[in-house]
Homo-oligomer: A and B are copies of this chain.
Amino acid sequence: MTTRQNCGGEAPAPKPEFFTRSYLLLCGGVGGSKLADGLARILPSGRLHVVVNTGDDFTHLGLRICPDLDTVAYMMAGLVSRERGWGREDESWSAMDALCSLGGPDWFQLGDRDLALHVLRSHWLRQGATLSEAMARVASGLGLKHVPQPMSDQAAPTEIETGQGLLPFQEYFVRQACRPVATKVHYGAADSAVAASPALSKALNDPDLAGVIIAPSNPILSIGPMLALAELRAFLNQGRVPAVAVSPFIGQAVVKGPAAKIQAELGLAPGDSGLCSLYAGWLSGLIVHADAVTPAPTGLPVPLRACNTLMLNAADRERVAREALDFLESLS
């Protein structure tokens, strides 16, 4: 497949069509949130469906915690911690200190402001709100023009099969820092009883939908849970609109997280090659990383566009988002 390289150059300017067409972004946490923000900066309200992985969600201290949704929300609100990539920049840790003093668990960090969101959302959920409704309220509170929405309103936890047995996601991801060797990943969303959220269903049925964008999130742990949803998988396989992914890989590594490690453990090819096998059958094109040091990968089975996918600031996020929209356009 050919690679159009746009490395280091200006990204294409937004085209007027972007504002009458709709796009579906499927994304996870840290990496994905950056592209979500880039797209949100370009596309008007109602033209971007931001659908987020909830396979990481868990209940901790009686609080429903949605790490990916919150990272996306904080990023789009300009609140995310630059250093951590998750949680809030303007954060304090008094509650966590007190919690630990009182004998509470210390392995999952809860900032004071972040804790308030968990408390309030858990309260809304107990009152009967769906997660989608709760996220709409969170987005409103944060002043967002696009609402990050869950892939499903039902619990669909990801679990990791390891030498230590089946681990709940956060047990594997945070408590054990992804150290256990994964032998298999179980997606809660693979259960046929788990339905797509209203936002995801709406996106899939949106007559203006011009394309699907897969964020540079962990293909197995962040995108995989969404792909396990029958409704989404069927839509992608049908190919009504093109679907492009922005790769999280830079060479065979990623900026953050265990994507390379888990891909190897599950016997997949490293880097973009493994990614293409995971997205095989429906991926229309892949945006790969290239810069002065790292050449774009070659020999991949889909059309490529190469650019610097590192998103270090808002300008980068907007630039990569424009690449994705333009690439989709070129594949339509």
Binding site for B on A (CB under 8 A): 61-63, 91-92, 94-99, 101-104, 111-117, 119-120, 122-123, 126, 137-138, 140-142
Contact = CB atoms under 8 A, between A and B. Distances in A.
Given A99-B116, A113-B98, A137-B102, A123 B92 contact: no
Nearest to A92: B94
Nearest to A79: B98
Contacts of A117: 98, 102
A112 B137 contact: no
B115 A102 contact: no
A119 to B, nearest CB: 5
Contacts of A63: 119
B141 A102 contact: yes
A61 B94 contact: no
A247 B97 CA distance: 37
A131 to B, nearest CB: 15
B102 A142 contact: yes
A102 B116 contact: yes
A102 B111 CA distance: 15
A104 B120 contact: yes
A322 to B, nearest CB: 31
Contacts of A112: 92, 94-95, 98, 112, 115
A101 B120 CA distance: 11
11 contacts: A61-B123, A63-B119, A92-B94, A95-B95, A95-B119, A97-B113, A98-B116, A101-B141, A103-B120, A104-B120, A115-B115
Nearest to A101: B141
Which 4 A-B pairs give the minimum distances between C-beta atoms? Answer: A102-B141, A98-B113, A94-B112, A98-B116
A142 B98 CA distance: 10
A124 to B, nearest CB: 9
A122 B140 CA distance: 28
B62 A102 contact: no
A102 B61 contact: no
Given A94-B92, A112-B112, A62 B99 contact: no
Contacts of A101: 141-142
A126 to B, nearest CB: 5
Contacts of A103: 120, 137, 140-141
With most chain B CB atoms within 10 A of its CB, the pick from A62, A111, A142 is A62
